[in-house]
Amino acid sequence: MKLSEKIASYKGDRPFFTLEFFPPKTDQGFENLVARIGRLSSLHPLAISITWGAGGSTSERSLDLSGLVQEEYGIETIMHLTCTNMEKGSIDAALKSAKERGITNILALRGDPPRGDESWIPTDVRFQHGVDLVSYIREQPEYADFTIGVAAYPDGHTESDESEEHQIGHLKQKIDAGADYIITQLFYDVDGFLRWEKKVRAKGITVPIIPGIMPIQTYATFMRLTKLCGTRVPGNLMSDLVEIRHDDQKVKDYGVKLAIEMIRRLTTEADISGVHFSTLNLEKSVQRVIDGLGWIERFPSVLKPVNKLIAEVSGT
Ligand code: FAD
pLDDT digits (tens, 9 = 90+) for 123-179: 999 999 999 999 999 999 999 999 999 999 999 999 999 999 999 999 999 999 999
What is the distance between the alpha carbons of residues 316 and 314, in angstroms, rounded to a whole number?
Answer: 6
For the chain, the average pLDDT equals: 93
- Reported confidence tier of residue 191, pLDDT bands at 50, 70, 90: very high
Lowest mean pLDDT among 11-15, 178-182, 274-278, 289-293: 11-15
Q: Is the pLDDT of residue 302 over 90?
A: no
Please state the ipTM of this predicted complex: 0.99
The phi and psi torsions of 108 (rounded to 5 degrees) equal -90, 115
**What average pLDDT does range 67-77 have in this prediction?**
93
Ligand 1 atom at minimal distance to the Cα of residue 186: 36
Q: Is the pLDDT of residue 1 over 50?
A: yes
Give the angle subtended at the CA of 262 by the CAs of 259 and 266, to the nearest 5°.
135
What is the distance between the alpha carbons of residues 53 and 316, in angstroms, rounded to a whole number?
Answer: 33
pLDDT of residue 305: 52
Sign of the dihedral defined by the CA atoms of residues 19, 20, 24, 27, in that order: positive
Mutate to test the pocket of ligand 1, among 157, 181, 184 (most ligand atoms within 8 A of CB): 157
Ligand 1 atom at minimal distance to the Cα of residue 184: 36
User: What single letter denotes the amino acid at residue 82?
Assistant: T
Q: Is the pLDDT of residue 286 over 50?
A: yes
pLDDT of residue 313: 54
57 lines ligand 1 (CB under 6 A): no
What is the distance between the alpha carbons of residues 79 and 171, in angstroms, rounded to a whole number?
Answer: 20
164 lines ligand 1 (CB under 6 A): no
273 lines ligand 1 (CB under 6 A): no
- Reported confidence tier of residue 55, pLDDT bands at 50, 70, 90: confident
| Closest to 96 in 3D by CA, of 111, 81, 113 | 81
